[in-house]
Amino acid sequence: MAVEPKAEPLVVHVVPMRRRHVRSVLRIENQVYPRPWSMSLFLSELALRSTRAYLVARVGRDVVGYGGLMMTAEDGHVTTIAVDPRWQRHQVGTRLLLVLAREAVEREARSLTLEVRLSNRGAQELYRRFAFGPVGVRKNYYAETNEDALVMWAHEVDRPAYAELLDGIERGIEGETVIEEIKRW
């Protein structure tokens, strides 16, 4: 039986995504996206460790969220981030984005980018807290729903001011986040 959110302080483990996590990731993927990624797509992304970082958030043994990062030159691209609907509004997405942003900086990113549905105001607000600002719109980016994507960028993520921003976000997270080191090849 899945663990349900509780009022007591939450302990969330953020760990590198492994093959054994993919079925749980797909369960969430199928709940939150009209056209979910396939198992083979996740597995192919996991194989690209030099340019990718994929994470899962666990509460107990349950995967409650996941996120991905692709590095290109000096830019980190958040490829995906999703939280089990039962665990939304418990700062799981914040924890994942925090670890992804720090991983991008570790990999010498100077900027971060992502696309988000124009209708997803909650996600846009989260991204704004991480200094992402809108720079344009990609028409019909989400072909399955004919929805446009808002393109957002966070610049100068390699500067001390961004590290301070991330530290402040981390201080505002309730409960505990346990982060397992990400191995790169």
Q: Decide if 115 is catalytic.
A: yes
Closest C-alpha among 130, 126, 148, 151 to residue 139 = 148
Q: 91: alpha, beta or left, given left = phi > 0 and alpha = psi -120 to 50?
A: left
User: How far, in Å, CA of 185 to CA of 183, rounded?
Assistant: 7
Catalytic residue among 115, 141, 147, 170: 115
User: How far, in Å, CA of 115 to CA of 96, rounded?
Assistant: 16
The bridge status of strand 62-72 relative to strand 75-83 is antiparallel
At residue 16, what are phi and psi to the nearest 5 degrees?
-60, 135
> In this structure, are residues 48 and 8 in contact, taking their beta carbons and an 8 Å threshold?
no
User: How far, in Å, CA of 177 to CA of 57, rounded?
Assistant: 9
| CA 68, chain centre distance (Å) | 6
Q: Decide if 180 is catalytic.
A: no
Catalytic residue among 66, 127, 142, 162: 127
Q: Which two tokens stand for residue 145?
A: 């729903």
Q: Give the active site residues.
A: 115, 127
